Amino acid sequence: MTYVTQPLRAPLDIGFDYTRSLGPTLSQFMTALAGRRILGSRGADGTVHAPPFEYDPVTFAPPAELVEVGPEGIVTSWTWMAQPLEGQPLPHPFAWALIRLDGAGTAMLHAVDAGSAAAMRTGLRVRPRWAASTTGSIRDIACFVPCAPGEPGQHAPQEHAPQPVTMMTSPVLLHYEHTASPGESSYLRGLAAGRLLGQRCPACGKVYFPSRGVCPADGVPATDEVELPHTGTVTTFCVVNVPFPGQRVTPPYVAGAILLDGADITFQHLILGCPASEVRMGMRVRAVWKPRAEWGTTAENIDHFRPSGEPDAPYDSYARHL
């Protein structure tokens, strides 16, 4: 299978928030962070874990009590982040480090603002630099910084007892570049030229519009291109009465499944040009295109479908495509 053209590509940013409940142990830990204190949990074997475990790794019991640790500690391992990535604690080069806080037997991962890799070493003593405002998050510790030699231990000013923190929100933002399949690319390029291009499966002969790339029934690429007319039949539809953000048409309006003449699968589009109450199964429709100047490689080039005025298609003509 060879393709003479490259597939289409486009960026996609995906952003969302995770909102999580903290549970009893992490709630205490985060509440303490909001007050600029760090807590650990003492295990059955006497080891203090910081950050705290929620269940003892030996006995699986919840921690009996949380104890204050640090705030200073020592670096047990580190690496240098020369080009920080989006979302990381510092925008300029920094060290990632495992830090064992005073009084703890385990280490926590965080950033160290050391200035240069040359300033980093295993065993380095560090202390937290607190965020300007704290909310009950691991990011209340903005980062750690090296303790100056002979510098007395610093305790952050004790704030008023903060409100218990029971929830946290983590924003996620990821960036992708999506690639359309060869069939999808051909379909989208066809739309940009005002043409409706489907593909026929060489095994079963079914015509896919929009492209499925590979015939989902046979698992083989649907490679034979088929140009389809701009007319089709409404196989089923729904009347949208509910307003929602971003809605482009004022309700009520109709979203329909349209079977283009010569295609074997339906696709969804708007059906306008008549009262919603007149739309029916079997109704014949025709594509209404936006002005050519607005076209791109998108199905949005078709503004909507409108009734074509032809007699309704008999049920048997689309019964197998519902």
Interface positions with other proteins (CB under 8 A): 6-7, 12, 14, 18, 20, 22, 26, 49, 51, 53, 57, 76-82, 85-89, 96-100, 106-111, 117, 122, 137-139, 168, 170, 172, 174-182, 184, 212-221
Give the contacts of 32 (CB within 8 A, at least 6 positions apart). Answer: 38, 39, 66, 68
Give whichever of 13 and 292 is closer to other proteins, judged by the CB atom.
13
Give whichever of 27 and 308 is closer to other proteins, judged by the CB atom.
27
Q: Is 69 exposed, middle or buried (0-12, 13-18, 19+ CB in 10 A)?
A: buried
Q: How far is the CB of 196 from other proteins (least distance, A)?
A: 21
Token couple for 125: 């003593």
Give the contacts of 33 (CB within 8 A, at least 6 positions apart). Answer: 134, 136, 137, 138, 140, 141
Q: Which residue has the tokens 């510092």?
A: 90
Give whichever of 84 and 162 is closer to other proteins, judged by the CB atom.
84
Give whichever of 118 and 148 is closer to other proteins, judged by the CB atom.
118
Q: How far is the CB of 257 from other proteins (least distance, A)?
A: 20
Residues 257, 259, 264, 268: is their CA dihedral positive or negative? negative
Give whichever of 135 and 236 is closer to other proteins, judged by the CB atom.
135
Q: How far is the CB of 81 from other proteins (least distance, A)?
A: 6
Q: How far is the CB of 212 from other proteins (least distance, A)?
A: 6
Distance CA 234, CA 299 (A): 17
Give whichever of 106 and 186 is closer to other proteins, judged by the CB atom.
106
Q: How far is the CB of 299 from other proteins (least distance, A)?
A: 17
Q: How far is the CB of 63 from other proteins (least distance, A)?
A: 13
Q: How far is the CB of 129 from other proteins (least distance, A)?
A: 14
Residue 68: what residue type?
A: E
